[in-house]
Structure 1
């Protein structure tokens, strides 16, 4: 038996590895508490409807011919309220706003590839459940993909389209590479609970600048937009998946543009730094009878910088569409579904 115990040397690299694991664990715990706090401060408003096993959060307000608003990436359905566009439409329309799958308080079940077409079919089924007949469908940014897919797959059930700052033709997108890791199984989950929220907080000022440039970020957006809600692990995962699916979505829809036969209004900003206006100009050439409005001194967030022009485009499309039968209650509303759950 040795007189003096000898200390076993630590394995090379073991200390930094343990430190890294501990740091990731600490980030996961911090993000969990930040998520819970954000949800307490921003509880769901509106209601829920379950369709095809998916619980969708939505709002349904106003009376008149129906208008459906589909939001883009990095925001939720509440973006239409913050911009003031929904308020402009409410005096004359029934306005339905969904949180797309994985955003806000809508579920995004695993095991399904949530392409633009899948999201369009889900929204279509939800509209049928809510008794909404032939709405004008408005999409912004990534939301233009499910809006167009809705018209492509269910054209008889759509009165018209209003498309804002959309991505309609595939291009090389460096931002897709930035989110690709977050869409991978296991690795994406690990990142979304640890490093991705931290990087998101650091990048948020640049993201806001890119979204609104060349105009300043509106004070109302600064006050009401919740970065903490956007950077929850569940929504980061949804944004990453949608980022990866953006190019395939545009490729899959392009061959159907010439088959669209309904009123379509396309709007884009001259200064858009997220999706160049050439995409809008190309789409107008593909869809016969569509109108194009390029807005000066406006960036990607058209509905913030020019809400009046957007509202007017919606009114023009609604007027050009076939008017529903006058005996339809609330502009196409049927009886309220039994499975609706008040979110308050």
Structure 2
């Protein structure tokens, strides 16, 4: 065996070990963090969701950001606060938590909204208030502009609404590349993500510290699974094109919109929220001082008040 063949064999063995290790890690992460909600099958996709509060009360639908899952809203306290006077339905969006993300579709915000409309109809939910955080704001807007499903209004938190130059999102989109991205997702991406995750969490919560409840309760190991890393990479790749597409919708949106954004957000500049407020016919802007990207943790009571103002209007 030549030296080159030996190197190739060693590389192949290392890749195989990494793949086996990451598959095993994913199974262990799922065993340690079982689903906290229910499942429904809709349009060939299994969705994981929770349904809390009074079924007869006005409904609020919660949509998390990129790389996250249902627990983001339960740990922040939003689910419990909202459930005092509303029915609260929160989905793991496709590819995150325990919801499937079939590869045969491109999961744009519009595609996710179309799936959620079918899921909400299946659950008998009409006229909800839709709250979207970060990338979830795209899906909330996509629901709001549909003509075949009525909503009461939108609450958008820490969203990205207008295209800008963002080198970081292209760097994060690597695992979404066909074939090569799969190899990266099942080999080095989980290791790299594990290494950078503490710094990433500090950044999204900055200038405040990461809450201890989040450190204790958020199932970070689920975030590091290859399938979820690929889903997050796909949404990173779709961020700027989606904003470019959606900016033409804003002037035609008739729903009441409540916009929340932290003034110290290091992920999405708060000017995005100001510009959206100016573009929308009906909106209220809440710029929260000394708060970063996770504005949902900073003042959940104010967000609940905004939701209830729309739900009861």
Q: TM-score, normalised by structure 2?
A: 0.97
Alignment partner for residue 76 of structure 2, among 83, 91, 109?
83
1:251 alignment counterpart: 244
Shift of 1:155: 7.2
1:4 alignment counterpart: none
Segments of structure 1 that go 5 or more residues without pairing to the other structure are 1-9, 321-344
Shift of 1:179: 2.3
Q: Distance in 1 between matches of 2:19 and 2:125?
A: 41
1:27 alignment counterpart: 18
Bigger radius of gyration among the two: 1
1:94 alignment counterpart: 87
The answer to whether 1:133 aligns with 2:145 is: no
Alignment partner for residue 274 of structure 2, among 274, 281, 290?
281
Shift of 1:120: 0.7
Q: Distance in 2 between matches of 1:12 and 1:25?
A: 20
Cα deviations across residues 134-187 of structure 1 (Å, max 9, x unaligned)? 000000000000100100114751100000000101111122221232111111
2:213 alignment counterpart: 220
Q: Distance in 2 between matches of 1:307 and 1:174?
A: 31
* Contact map agreement 1:298 1:306 (CA 8 A) in 2: no
Alignment partner for residue 105 of structure 1, among 98, 109, 114?
98
Per the alignment, do residues 155 and 207 of structure 1 end up closer, same or farther by CA in structure 2, a change over 3 Å counting? Answer: farther
1:195 alignment counterpart: 188
Q: TM-score, normalised by structure 1?
A: 0.88
Alignment partner for residue 2 of structure 2, among 11, 21, 37?
11
Segments of structure 2 that go 5 or more residues without pairing to the other structure are none
Q: Distance in 1 between matches of 2:311 and 2:13?
A: 56
**What are the residue-to-residue correspondences of 1:61-76 with 2, within 5 Å?**
61-63=52-54, 64-76=57-69
* Contact map agreement 1:162 1:264 (CA 8 A) in 2: yes
Q: What secondary structure does 2:312 align onto?
A: helix
Q: Distance in 2 between matches of 1:144 and 1:205?
A: 24
Shift of 1:132: 0.3
1:329 alignment counterpart: none
Per the alignment, do residues 154 and 46 of structure 1 end up closer, same or farther by CA in structure 2, a change over 3 Å counting? Answer: farther
Higher relative contact order (CA 8 A, sep 6+): 1
Per the alignment, do residues 292 and 233 of structure 1 end up closer, same or farther by CA in structure 2, a change over 3 Å counting? Answer: same
2:259 alignment counterpart: 266
Moved more, 267-276 or 71-80: 71-80
1:205 alignment counterpart: 198
Q: What secondary structure does 2:272 align onto?
A: helix
* Contact map agreement 1:265 1:291 (CA 8 A) in 2: yes
**What are the residue-to-residue correspondences of 1:169-180 with 2, within 5 Å?**
169-180=162-173
Q: Distance in 1 between matches of 2:10 and 2:160?
A: 42
Q: Distance in 2 between matches of 1:17 and 1:280?
A: 51
Q: Distance in 1 between matches of 2:123 and 2:23?
A: 34
Q: What secondary structure does 1:139 align onto?
A: strand
